[in-house]
Amino acid sequence: MKTLEECRKEINEIDGKLVELLQQRMYVSMDVAAYKKANELPVYDADREQALLRRIAMLAGSNHREAILAVYDTILMESKKKQMELIG
């Protein structure tokens, strides 16, 4: 059995990777916003969002699916918020 400190160290390492990946995702989301602005497209695309959430649910499988989808709801909300700021 791992010690509490070992578990916390592992979580810290994972959190570092998650933060880096989330930042990368937000940068790409800004590229999406720039494209949408240039092409006069709306920020919200219901079909795309539903397809993304279905894909995430499939990737998650049965392990922690609801928690992972809840996290993605927040990620998508923040992404749309940032896109709206850029598009105006």
Q: Give Cα 34 distance to the centre of its chain.
A: 18
d(CA 73, CA 39): 26
The closest alpha carbon to 75, from 26, 18, 13, belongs to 26
**Token pair 């989301």 in the structure block, residue:** 29
Q: Output the pLDDT for position 88.
A: 84
pLDDT at 82 over 90: yes
Q: What's the CA gap between 33 and 40, in Å, rounded?
A: 10
Mean pLDDT of the region 33-59: 97
The whole-number average pLDDT for the span 47-61 is 97
Structural domains for the chain = 4-87 (1.20.59.10)
pLDDT bin (cut points 50, 70, 90) of residue 45 is very high
Radius of gyration (C-alpha) of the chain in whole angstroms: 16
Residue 86 in tokens: 């850029």
Q: How high is the pLDDT of residue 66?
A: 97
